[in-house]
Structure 1
Amino acid sequence: MALVFRWYNRMLLNHPWKSQALTTGCLMATSDFIAQTAVEKSELKHVDWFRVGRFAFLGLFYVGPSLRLWYLTLDKIYGVAGKTVGIKKVLTDQCMFSPAFIASFLIVCGKSQFHTWNEIKQKINNDYFTILKTSYKLWPCAQLITFYVIPLQLRVPFVSFIALIWNTYLASQANRSTNETTIKDGV
């Protein structure tokens, strides 16, 4: 196991963008698989593999690169050391990035499902604040650990592993139909 970790760490140092994007893609695919089998109770033979692939694609080309760029930006703005640097990064992350990223993710996910703009808008109207509120229960603590303990090259993989839980929730929310959302929420 130590050999695999050393190899992975070397890949992160030598090819950070590719390694982090691939890690995020794999973990997002895993999250969607878990969402389908554990949360939505689909039998293995009924797993929507296109949906799993769509989540892998989103992780590889959208989420992983977005997170990498965001962490680099935070380091550029606030630096990497100091007593209050982590707090400033968490506050900026939670006040600016999270709200914008959740909205953009719902849009990108909706477009990848070939939904119309009206369907996407309705999805955002129905689910955005619930998802944002739920994110505030997990991410501030996780991001404090990220910014105070985890070195830059390991931040996206660390956050991606924490996101296994989050993305399982997000996958189940993002893939609920608008009618299902309306009925469940009693609207």
Structure 2
Amino acid sequence: MAGLWRGYQRLLAAHPWKVQIITAGSLMGVGDVISQQLVERRGVQGHSVERTLKMMGVGLCFVGPVVGSWYNVLDRLVPGSTKSVALKKMLLDQGGFAPCFLGCFLTIVSTLNGLSKEEIWTKLKRDYKDALITNYYIWPAVQIANFYFIPLYHRLAVVQCVAIVWNSYLSWKANKA
């Protein structure tokens, strides 16, 4: 395990942006597999590989780049690593970024699932508030720790590791009929 971590560190140092995005995409896929197998109990025969690939694509093309860029912006907006800086970053993250990000995420997945504009709007009205409230149970404490203890270039990976459970929830929520 230590060897894997060292290898990841070397790759991250050499190619930080690519590695962060690939990590986000991979862990979105893991979250979807967990959602399909442990939450929805689809079994191997009922597993939708297409859905897992879509979720990985959303991780690679949306989650990784957007969250990675957000952390860079946030670090420039609120420089430092004190407890009060971590709290300010968390408040900006959870008060401004998370609501927008979640709405975009649900819209993107719904669009990839072929829903019409009306169906997407209905889904957002039905699922957005519940997903945002669930977000607030999980992420404020995680983000304070992330902003206080974790260097910028590891934040996306740390969040995505914690987010395996969150990604499972989001995959279930976004793909629920």
Give the structure-2-normalised TM-score: 0.97
Mapped pair 1:81 → 2:81: yes
Moved more, 81-90 or 65-74: 81-90
Cα separation, 1, equivalents of 2:115 and 2:17: 29
Task: Report the Cα offset of residue 163 of structure 1.
Answer: 0.4
C-alpha RMSD of matched pairs (Å): 0.9
Cα separation, 1, equivalents of 2:115 and 2:149: 40
2:32 counterpart residue number: 32
2:98 counterpart residue number: 98
2:116 counterpart residue number: 116
Identity %: 38
The one-letter amino acid paired with 1:73 is V
Cα separation, 2, equivalents of 1:142 and 1:83: 13
The one-letter amino acid paired with 1:38 is L
SS in 1 for 2:88: helix
SS in 1 for 2:115: coil
Task: Report the Cα offset of residue 16 of structure 1.
Answer: 1.3
Task: Report the Cα offset of residue 80 of structure 1.
Answer: 2.8
Task: Report the Cα offset of residue 125 of structure 1.
Answer: 0.3
Cα separation, 1, equivalents of 2:44 and 2:82: 48
Cα separation, 1, equivalents of 2:107 and 2:39: 23
Q: 1:36-185 to 2 correspondence within 5 Å?
A: 36-177=36-177
Cα distance per residue 1:40-68 (max 9 Å; x no partner): 11011110000000000000111011110
Task: Report the Cα offset of residue 83 of structure 1.
Answer: 3.5
The one-letter amino acid paired with 1:134 is T
Task: Report the Cα offset of residue 113 of structure 1.
Answer: 1.1
Cα distance per residue 1:131-181 (max 9 Å; x no partner): 00000000001101100111111111100010000010111010011xxxx
2:5 counterpart residue number: 5
Give the structure-1-normalised TM-score: 0.92
The one-letter amino acid paired with 1:40 is E
Task: Report the Cα offset of residue 128 of structure 1.
Answer: 0.4
Moved over 4 A (4+): none
SS in 2 for 1:87: helix
Task: Report the Cα offset of residue 124 of structure 1.
Answer: 0.3
1:183 counterpart residue number: none
Cα distance per residue 1:95-115 (max 9 Å; x no partner): 001100010001111111121
Structure number with higher relative contact order (C-alpha < 8 Å, ≥ 6 residues apart):
2
SS in 1 for 2:136: helix
